[in-house]
Amino acid sequence: VSPSTSRVPADLRLQRLLAILSWCADQDGPTFAEVMDRFDIGASQLRDDLELAAMVGSDSEDIADMPIEVVVDDGRVWVYLHAFQRPLRLTPDEGLALVATGAALQSVPGADPEGPLARALTKLAGVLGVEPDEAIGIDLGLPHGDTFTILRDAVTARRQVELDYYSFGRDEHTHRVVDPWRVFADQGAWYVVGWCHRVDDQRSFRLDRIAEVVPLDTTFDPPAQPPDLGLYHADAGGPRVVLDLEPNARWVAEVHPTESVEDLGEGRLRVTLAVSARPWLERLLLTLGPLATLVHVDDRLGGPETARAAARRVLARYRAGGAVR
Amino acid sequence: MSQAKVERLLNLIATLLDAPRPVTADELRRRVPGYPDAKTNFRRAFERDKEDLRAMGVPIRIEPVPLSNPPAEGYRIRKDEYYLRDPGLEPDERAALQLAAATVRLDGLAGAGALWKLGGREPAVDRSDELADLPSDPNLAAVFSGVLEHRRLRFAYRGTDRRVDPWRLVFRRGRWYLAGYDHGRGDERIFRLDRVDGPVEVEEEAGAFTRPPEAQRPLQLDQWEIGDEQPVTARVLIDPDAATSAIHSQRPGSASVRVVERRPDGSLVLEMDVTSRYGFRSFLLTFLEHAEVLGPPELRDDVVTWLEAIAAP
């Protein structure tokens, strides 16, 4: 939502106006520019909205029914309120938006437990009528160790890093030099996105699969454009798999990027997925078992025998060992 | 929303807010400019406005009009229910919240509106890159209102209708969970919000329960422990190459998985408290042939049986 455009959704426009009125009433004639900046509103929209507010109650015979007085003079705004003195209370989703994002940031290493964010969250909890931390817990799931702090510092200092990385999709360890552009969390996992000198391309790496990170002395220039955070760019010519999912396996379509989803009725889905490498598909099929039926799979991924072959490989371990070790 | 509608809603709120007595629909039709005169048209417009305002969080009450004869009902907004209590934020605190909202995105939730109500954007807050993206859920706001106001929730979950005292909302590993007391089961339960079927219904009564002190303890949420099954302790051997990701897959402070042995070749033996065979298997099979259940035999058999069914021609 970009609230500065004139096509602000209905309710937002009214809510913003109410917020502007009560804020201005508390100030000593703020400038027009300050109101515009603070509430992300254009000059003509602000003028319209203030005029509208000043007309409230004007149909009444009684001047006392006009709850809002607005004076605009010399580029400044004075508002006198006989109603609407305080903003409308926070709705549950607004309260949640503030508390959840604040608590999330507060959970990241390096957050000051007595800093302004912590104080703000305590005050908000008071307004919402709960103890801080009581109603909500946010854990962004940072992996153990100092991987996160080393990478975050490297991003800030623009220093290259060397990664010992376990590629889950391909099931192999690699060493690579990376220009770390950004560290971020998505879907419960942490990633560093940057330029990988091993493949000479942009890559994202999961922090929990970095066995070791070593900051280097060499520096790099970050890209002028912020990186696209799309985690997985399906290669147009890359292998595909088509699966029929039972109702209990519908989550697959929610957590993995799908190229197409077809409703087969009775809760079943037919999905097409782009697959990065064969081990990834093997894991999915072994986990799902009878909940997924292979409809079509590229020969590069093992063809129709993929799941059977993988299951036999894992089983071989159990037959070799036999007894409990 | 058109200019006319914003104006009408503002007039409607002004008329109802802190009104000395409930205002009847008929009075509203005459007093609030912008309503059609014809009664049926007015009704339709007024009902829509009422819905829009309630969706914004404006608490419109329906109350009997005192001394009216015949008895009539009217509308009113009570000041104490409408106004936001001033949290008394300092500029640096407001800026911190604003930065958090910009750094951590909560998909689809109204962060902007909330910040306006708290006094708008502080000038000169450093722009910051987005750090994390929290997914939203259609039931998130309803569940949170239940947690805040201590209202019971009703929803369908795994084919059963539940009635739950919502204690705490928790986000971890990319998912939202509700911890609370399940009246049907007579015990504490954890629900994954994305597995709730359909909308969550919030009961009327506020303050319907008190949150027990144990609601504060961290959720046990590793996938092998989200289940009701008889607990067993699994011993799992992880090969050296896969050891890094196995270590990282433990939650900090998790008691449900422990490294009990580090072998000279770099492999690990984990002990895990399992109450969900399905969750345990899903964890185990991500290692493909690089991990093996050492025991107990029943769990080992369970995995072998599962794999044999897949391996069967």
pLDDT tens column, A106-118:
888 778 888 888 9
CB pairs under 8 A between A and B: 355
Interchain proximity A136–B168, CB inside 8 Å:
yes
Nearest-by-CA chain B residue for A40: B121
CB B11 within 8 Å of CB B32: yes
Residue B308 — pLDDT band, cuts 50, 70, 90?
very high
User: How close does chain A come to B70, measured CA to CA in Å?
Assistant: 27
Is residue B69 helix, strand or coil?
A: coil
B93 CB neighbours in chain A (<8 A) are 116-117, 119-120, 123
pLDDT at residue number B163: 96
Q: Nearest CB to A139: which of B81, B103, B172?
A: B172
pLDDT of A324 higher than 50: no
- In degrees, rounded to 5, the angle at the alpha carbon of residue A182 between the alpha carbons of residues B97 and B99 is 10
Q: What is the pLDDT of residues B197-249, one digit of tens each?
A: 889 999 988 889 988 876 655 555 677 777 777 889 999 999 887 776 666 65
User: What are the chain A neighbours of B277 within 8 Å (beta carbons)?
Assistant: none
Strand partners, B271: B235, B258
Both tokens assigned to A57? 């109650």
B111 touches chain A (CB under 8 A): yes
Q: Is A20 in the B-facing interface, judged by CB distances under 8 Å?
A: yes
Q: Where are the alpha helices (DSSP H) in chain B?
A: 3-16, 25-31, 39-56, 79-82, 91-103, 111-117, 140-149, 243-248, 277-285, 297-311
CB atoms within 10 A of CB A96: 28
Q: Tell me the average pLDDT of chain B.
A: 85
pLDDT in tens, B97-127: 888 887 787 766 666 778 888 888 777 665 5
Residue by residue, DSSP assigns A180-230 as: EEEEEEETTEEEEEEEETTTTEEEEEEGGGEEEEEEEEEE-PPPSSPPP--
Q: A189: which strand partners?
A: A186
Q: How far apart are the C-alpha atoms of A160 and A146, rounded to whole Å?
A: 16
- Beta pairing, strands B291-295 & B232-238: antiparallel
Tokens in use for B101? 């909202």
Nearest CA in chain A to B287: A283
Residues A238-297: pLDDT tens digits? 788 999 999 888 878 766 767 888 889 888 999 998 887 788 889 899 999 999 999 988
Q: What's the whole-number mean pLDDT along residues B291-295? A: 92
pLDDT in tens, B3-29: 788 889 998 998 898 888 899 998 899
CA distances from B269 to A209, B223, B243, B293 (A): 19, 18, 10, 10
- Would strands B175-182 and B160-172 be described as parallel, antiparallel, or unpaired? antiparallel
Residue in A with minimal Cα distance to B297: A324
Decide if pLDDT at A19 tops 80. Answer: yes
Q: Which residues in chain B are contacts of A189 at CB distance < 8 A?
A: 173-174
Surface of A (61-90) touching B: CB under 8 A: 67-68, 83-90
Reported confidence tier of residue A141, pLDDT bands at 50, 70, 90 = confident
Given this model, what pLDDT does residue A97 score? 84
Report the percentage of chain B scoring pLDDT > 90. 30
- Choose from A4, A152, A212, A314 for mutation: most chain B CBs within 10 A: A314
Q: Is A108 an 8 Å CB contact of chain B? A: yes
Where is pLDDT greater, at B173 or A243?
A243
Q: What's the pLDDT tens digit per position in A23-48?
A: 999 898 999 999 999 898 999 999 99
How far is residue B195's CA from residue B192's CA, in Å, rounded to a whole number?
Answer: 5
Which residues of chain B lie closer than 8 angstroms to A166, CB-CB?
241-242, 244-245
The torsion angles phi and psi of B161, rounded to 5 degrees, stand at: -80, 130
Residues in A 192-251 with any Cβ partner in B closer than 8 A: 208-209, 211, 226, 229, 251
Q: Among all residues of chain B, which has the CA nearest to that of A19? A: B117
Per-residue model confidence as pLDDT tens digits over A96-108: 888 888 888 888 8
